[in-house]
């Protein structure tokens, strides 16, 4: 997959002789070392011939000058999440100068090999805006909270915001009484949803009745590498982060970790096919902006493709475009787990030398054989396939198995929305 779409460009205008407080190196060198250490995609320092700034002093390079203080521009190009994470650190280093930020359109990019998980702590990468519930929260409210969200679990906290449990999709079905997973309930109309919540007995239960009490969590000062290993060992999609008092302060997801290791460019968001009642086949719903890679694609390209869209998956095809399998974020994190026996990342990182390129290809990472549909497959049949197989994405292929497009759960379930008079 060609990673194209919107990235971020940061320009830093400083003086050549500027230094950050407490640093002996020139400021431009301090900034470049920070970006390199933190796994930034790339940055370039450009030395100007002349210029002036806020102090209105004109700096000009002349042949007779031995030591000059010319203007310097650092141009840093990267993905949105990494810029958001590192830009505050850069700003703290620049006491005098100008920093600009703008969106840029990526039209071509050559993938690099994955870098090592940076030395960041969990707090540097985690999402701080956490949605949580309390033990006495009615279960109906939890269902509504999870509707139209990409995640299917929610942490439970007490009155002091201390983590005491978690409610998952499985908890809602096995102990809550729901007859269908949340992603299916989200496509019912208001009246049909109310009937499901009432008939299932959910309205008579609270979070305390169904939650899982033993929760695996991480500390904010834990290394990102250790947290990633923990997620792989426990098969955890989202890891709650708590402080020394057990207070919930963040959430770390698989993709949060993977994006620190790749380029972190996002493919452009394309509107979902309209879930309009009356559509009956997969061909009427499928999207063609499919995150896909060739079977011989490098580990770096697979990583960037998986993290480039909200699906967190890439479809693997052969040279003729026939679908072979799918690579998920869980597959990648397991392979890149630095603490696991099957991890490959540590083997890639040689001490004192440049790491050799990985020989892993998409075919080595994928799950197969794939579950697919054709454009003529009915939506009802496609829904059964994707839910029974517990898959998130269903590739759509022609009679020869070549990739035409794909649908995800939300695409498929929208046309099945039940009208209130027949629900």
| Res 357 pLDDT > 90 | no
Residue 240 domain-assigned (yes or no): yes
Where does a domain end: 109, 144, 164?
Answer: 109
Where does a domain end: 259, 290, 313?
Answer: 259
* 275 φ/ψ angles, rounded to the nearest 5 degrees: -85, 65
Range of the domain at 80: 5-109
- Asked if residue 101 and residue 129 are part of one domain, the reply reads no
Which band of pLDDT confidence, cut at 50, 70 and 90, is reported for residue 422? very low
- Asked if residue 138 and residue 87 are part of one domain, the reply reads no
Nearest residue to 127 via CA among 183, 187, 85, 171: 85
pLDDT winner (highest mean) among 234-243, 255-264, 383-392, 404-413: 234-243
At 102 the pLDDT is 94
- Asked if residue 96 and residue 56 are part of one domain, the reply reads yes
Q: In this predicted structure, which of 34-43, 54-63, 91-100, 130-139 has the lowest mean pLDDT?
A: 54-63
Tell me the pLDDT tens digit for each residue of 300-336: 888 888 877 777 889 999 999 999 999 988 888 877 7
CATH number of the domain to which 29 belongs: 3.30.70.120
- Asked if residue 150 and residue 103 are part of one domain, the reply reads no
**Model pTM score:** 0.57
How many CA atoms are closer than 13 Å to the CA of 74, on its beta-carbon side? 27
Residue 343 domain-assigned (yes or no): yes
CATH number of the domain to which 199 belongs: 3.10.580.10
Residue 354 domain-assigned (yes or no): yes
- Asked if residue 323 and residue 402 are part of one domain, the reply reads yes
- Asked if residue 255 and residue 127 are part of one domain, the reply reads yes
Instruction: Quote the number of domains for the chain.
Output: 3
pLDDT winner (highest mean) among 191-195, 349-353, 378-382: 378-382
Question: SS3 sequence, the chain?
Answer: CCCCEEEEEEEEEEECCCCCCCCCCCHHHHHHHHHHHCCCCCEEEEECCEECCCCCCCEECCCCCCCCCCEEEEEEEECHHHHHHHHHHHHHHCCCCEEEEEEEEECCCCCCCCCCCCCCEHHHHCECCCCCECCCCEHHHHHHHHCCCCCCEEEEECCCCEEEEEEEHHHHHHCCCCCCCHHHHCCCCHHHHHHHHHHCCHHHCEHHHHCECCCCCECCCCEHHHHHHHHHHHCCCEEEEECCCCEEEEEEEHHHHHHCCCCCCECCCCCCCCCCCCCCEHHHCCECCCCEEECCCEHHHHHHHHCCCCCCEEEEECCCCEEEEEEEHHHHHHHHCCCCCCCCHHHHCCCCCCCCCCCCEHHHHCECCCCCECCCCEHHHHHHHHHHCCCCEEEEECCCCEEEEEEEHHHHHHHHCCCCCCC
Residue 312 domain-assigned (yes or no): yes
Cα angle 383-387-390, degrees, rounded to a multiple of 5? 145
């Amino acid at each position: 997959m060609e990673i194209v779409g919107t990235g971020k460009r940061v320009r830093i205008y400083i003086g050549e002789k500027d230094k950050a407080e407490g640093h002996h190196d020139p400021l431009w060198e301090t900034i470049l070392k920070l970006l390199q250490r933190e796994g930034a995609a790339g940055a370039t320092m450009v030395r100007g011939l002349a210029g002036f700034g806020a102090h209105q002093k004109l700096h000009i390079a002349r042949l007779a000058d031995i030591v000059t203080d010319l203007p310097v521009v650092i141009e840093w190009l990267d993905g949105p999440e990494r810029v958001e994470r590192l830009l505050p650190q850069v700003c703290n280093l620049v006491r005098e100068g100008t920093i600009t930020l703008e969106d840029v359109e990526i039209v071509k990019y050559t993938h690099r090999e994955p870098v090592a998980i940076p030395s960041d702590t969990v707090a540097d990468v985690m999402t701080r805006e956490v949605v949580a519930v309390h033990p006495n929260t009615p279960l109906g409210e939890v269902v509504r909270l999870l509707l139209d969200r990409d995640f299917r679990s929610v942490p439970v906290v007490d009155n002091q915001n201390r983590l005491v449990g978690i409610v998952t999709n499985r908890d809602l079905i096995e102990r809550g009484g729901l007859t269908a997973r949340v992603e299916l309930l989200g496509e019912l109309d208001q009246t049909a949803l109310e009937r499901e919540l009432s008939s299932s007995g959910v309205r008579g239960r609270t979070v305390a009745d169904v939650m899982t009490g033993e929760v695996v969590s991480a500390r904010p000062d834990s290394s990102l590498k250790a947290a990633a290993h923990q997620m792989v060992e426990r098969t955890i999609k989202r890891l709650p982060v708590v402080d020394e008092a057990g207070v919930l302060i963040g959430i770390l997801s698989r993709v949060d970790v993977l994006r620190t290791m790749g380029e972190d460019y996002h493919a452009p968001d394309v509107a979902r096919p309209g879930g309009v009642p009356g559509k009956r086949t997969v061909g009427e719903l499928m999207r063609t902006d499919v995150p896909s890679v060739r079977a011989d694609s490098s580990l770096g390209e697979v990583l960037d493709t998986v993290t480039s869209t909200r699906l967190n998956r890439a479809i693997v095809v052969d040279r003729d475009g026939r679908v072979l399998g799918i690579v998920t974020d869980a597959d990648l994190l397991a392979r890149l787990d630095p603490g696991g026996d099957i991890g490959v990342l540590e083997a890639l990182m040689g001490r004192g030398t440049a790491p050799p390129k990985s020989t892993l290809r998409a075919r080595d990472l994928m799950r197969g054989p794939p579950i697919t549909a054709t454009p003529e497959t009915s939506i009802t049949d496609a829904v059964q396939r994707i839910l029974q197989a517990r898959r998130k994405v269903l590739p759509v292929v022609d009679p020869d198995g070549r990739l035409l497009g794909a649908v995800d759960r939300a695409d498929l379930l929208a046309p099945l929305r039940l009208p209130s008079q027949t629900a």
